[in-house]
Structure 1
Amino acid sequence: MNFDRNKVEMVKRRYPVGTRIRLNSLCNVERDMPAGLCGTVIGVDDQPSLLMKWDNGRSLSLMPFEDDFAVIGQEMDVETGQQEQSL
């Protein structure tokens, strides 16, 4: 697979695991993915796509350079009670 490691690393830094996202719109039509839906980044793949855990139970990935969304926060680390990473 052909991918740009620099682009992948940039996306990982910009959207670390635990980043909370609010969806505005997707580049394609997906059922049960309305604008305003929130979710949490659980990883980044080599595309780079954001691997997501959506609040509605879905796991559809986001394409950071194609989909429209906003960062709304960072989840807290359960053990320390602090933000996992700053944005």
Structure 2
Amino acid sequence: MRFPSREQITALRQRYPRGTKVELLGMDDPQAPPTGTMGEILGVDDAGQLLVRWETGSSLSLIPGIDSFRIVQKGGRS
């Protein structure tokens, strides 16, 4: 597994700030929430994964470039 650089992590944190609302379009994981599930970004970890609180109660992270999702509403800084 190749970890992103510090600069890439910073860019991800700017693109997906805490509070950003996302819709899941597809994830190749047997524990994934159903397609169309809405979630809220809680942050970006040091591996570049998006920490998400899904409306189903799941907390499965998104991996940009692997999982398919769209931003529904951009979050703000807190």
TM-score by length of 2: 0.86
Task: Give the secondary-structure state (helix, strand or coil) at the position aligned to 1:24.
Answer: strand
User: Aligned partners of 1:60 and 1:29: how far apart in 2?
Assistant: 9
Deviation of residue 65 (structure 1)?
1.6
- Cα displacement (A) at 1:20: 0.2
Task: Tell me, yes or no, if the aligned pair for 2:32 and 2:60 is still in contact at 8 Å.
Answer: no
Post-superposition offset of 1:56: 0.4
Seen in structure 2, the aligned counterparts of structure 1 residues 50 and 32 have a Cα distance that, compared at 3 Å, is closer
1:64 and 1:42 map into 2 onto residues whose CA distance is 15
Give the number of the structure whose alpha-carbon radius of gyration is greater. Answer: 1
Q: Tell which has more relative contact order, 1 or 2 (C-alpha 8 A, sep 6+).
A: 2
* Poorly superposed stretches of 4+, deviation over 3 Å: none
Letter matched to residue 21 of structure 1 = V
Unpaired runs of at least 5, structure 1:
76-83
Q: Percent identity?
A: 33
- Could you tell me how far apart the structure 2 residues matched to 1:56 and 1:62 are? 15
Q: In 2, distance between residues paired with 1:33 and 1:41?
A: 15
**1:28-48 deviations in Å (ceiling 9; x for gaps):** 223351110000000100110
